[in-house]
Amino acid sequence: MTLQSSGAISMNDMRTEFGISGAISMSDLYRGGSEVPNEKEVTDAISSISYSGVSGATLGYSQRYMYGNLHTYSGGLGAGGLWAYGFMYNNLALSSVFNSININNGSVTGSNYVSGGHADHILFHMGTSASSQTVTETVTATMGRAGTYYVLGATGGTTYAPQNGHVGIEVDTGSGFSTVYTLAPQTTTLTSRYTFNASVGDKIRITLKGFREEISRYYYLSTSSSAADKTLSVNTNVPASGPIDFADLYGAEA
């Protein structure tokens, strides 16, 4: 929850939001002080998401299968599959289908991916494909928080033809989608492909495409330009020093 954006704000409202007990001094409410943070790990950056691509467990490279939305998939697992590929966002728990399956070519199973602190991203999507496959997946995210976000793209390694893993990016800031990063092969170094200065309600559409053998291709939607992260600046309207008014706390959050 956050404090309201208009009207009266009571001391009890502030106590509830910031976890304060007892008396409140206005100096406690400076941004970056003991109570009001200047940044936080956000889990609501995306307000809604849609997906098109694989349907059910689709065979990729070797014993790797693609399941699309790893939060909601409820079907069967690929025969002999050891890895589950797909997308995850907003720090949501993964479907129990994947409790004992390694996620996105890593060594972490679905049962402890989020609880173990491995979901340090706004959105993460990985795909795979075998020598005879061309697979396209598209995720469209509507942003629930304003902020600066980065799309980081890469492939998993030189052994498995990194030029076969492509990423493309489109954005819609109110006038329809436009291409900001044309579908292109990725390198083995995780690299920022687009900076998205988003307002609430803006949309970003990311396409992940594999041509033939590609053990892994992936992207992150991140708050960092160089690594997976979900830390955003918050409470930017609250002063860090000097005079402070209750109205400065409109929309403030713990």
pLDDT band at residue 181, thresholds of 50, 70 and 90? very high
8 domain residue, yes or no: no
61 domain residue, yes or no: yes
* For residue 160, pLDDT beyond 80: no
Rounded (10°) CA dihedral 197, 200, 202, 207: 80
Do strands 214-222 and 165-172 pair parallel, antiparallel, or not at all (unpaired)?
unpaired
| Residue-wise pLDDT tens digits, 43-60 | 999 999 999 998 888 888
2 domain residue, yes or no: no
Helix (H) or strand (E) holding 18: helix 11-18
238 domain residue, yes or no: no
**Residue 199, domain extent:** 46-232
Mean confidence (pLDDT) of the chain: 92
209 domain residue, yes or no: yes
94 domain residue, yes or no: yes
Which tops the pLDDT comparison, 17 or 162?
Answer: 17
The pTM of the full predicted model, rounded to 2 decimals, is: 0.90
Alpha-carbon distance values, 199 to 72, 177, 223 (Å): 27, 15, 14
User: If you ran DSSP here, which 8-state letter would residue 25 be given?
Assistant: -
Return the amino acid letter for 29.
L
Q: Do 208 and 125 touch, CB atoms closer than 8 A?
A: yes
Q: Residue 147's beta-bridge partner residues? A: 198
How many domains would you assign to the chain? 1
Q: Do 96 and 71 touch, CB atoms closer than 8 A?
A: no
202 domain residue, yes or no: yes
Helix (H) or strand (E) holding 39: strand 39-41
| Residue-wise pLDDT tens digits, 190-242 | 999 999 999 999 999 999 999 888 889 999 999 999 999 999 999 999 999 99
40 domain residue, yes or no: no
